[in-house]
Amino acid sequence: MLAAVLRIGDSGDVEVLAWQRARDPDRGCWALPGGRLGDDEDVETSVLRQLAEKVDVREVAHVEQLGVFSEPGRVPGTRLIATAFLGLVPSDVDPAVPADTAWRTVSPPPAEGAPAPDVLPTPVRAPALACAAFDHGTIVAAARDRLRAKLSYTNLGFAIAPREFTISALRDLYVAALGHPVSATNLQRVLTRRALLEPTGAVAPPGPSGGRPAALFRFTDRTLRVTDAFAVLKPPGEHGRGPVP
């Protein structure tokens, strides 16, 4: 049971919640929070319980299974099988964490044209976390890739964004998570057209250097929703005007 809890930091990069090991093996390196599965809980409640020791669970906006990491030699000593989770915390919450725990920046995904970040049998990946204990770097990379992939075809943005935000702020979050520029105009148009975003009516005060006050938006839904893909494969009668009878 391991959790890779991601957050978009103020400096504009992805961060993961990790704690520094005080003992060998891998002393001084950073490990993901987790623990053993209890007798009367399933893995989902277990990971939330483990997480409660590190951060307030109510601050975690989304949790989902990443996959099982079971390579026999992944940790020294006795065999240990880890069910890894991806957790997301909105960028505006900064939970109090224990002394040995910190937000570590995650290195951006490798090159462009990277292969499918959605395949579960995880091959070797770029080291996403500097000085990661055991195979936790691989798990963090899988989490970062999963976030990146799902931002593109779901409303998962709700889990990394504050409840209300300006379009530019949201754009910055997407830029940090994706690692490449994003058009604010198109982001607003696409997300509002698909009814993932709606204006709150209020406006945000301008920054210190002035500028027109930006309108505030919110995600209409705060649970995961999948959107468009191949239009051909959607049930008929939802595009264009349909056939002329």
The residue ranges that bind its own copies (CB under 8 A) are 37, 39-44, 46, 63-65, 67-68, 70-72, 79, 81, 83, 112, 115-121, 149, 151-154, 174, 178, 180-183, 186-187, 190, 224-236
* Span 141-180, contacts to DNA by CB under 7 A: 166-168
Contact assessment for residue 144 and residue 109, using Cβ atoms and an 8 Å cutoff: yes
When the beta carbons of 55 and 187 are compared against its own copies, the nearer one is 187
Tokens of 237: 């009668």
Contact assessment for residue 170 and residue 157, using Cβ atoms and an 8 Å cutoff: yes
* Residue given tokens 């209890």 in the structure block: 38
Binding at 120: pick from DNA, its own copies, none (beta carbon under 5-8 Å per type): its own copies
Cα–Cα–Cα angle for 132, 137, 141, rounded to 5 degrees = 150
DSSP 140: H
* Residue environment code for 44-57, b if the CB has 16+ CB neighbours within 10 A, otherwise e: eebbbebbeebbeb
CB of 100 vs its own copies, minimal distance in Å? 28
Binding at 83: pick from its own copies, DNA, none (beta carbon under 5-8 Å per type): its own copies
232 binds DNA (CB under 7 A): yes
Binds DNA by CB under 7 A, chosen from 72, 115, 235, 237:
237
Alpha-carbon distance of 243 to 191, in angstroms, equals 28
Binding site for DNA (CB under 7 A): 166-168, 183-186, 188-190, 193-194, 203, 205-215, 228, 230-232, 234, 236-237, 239-244
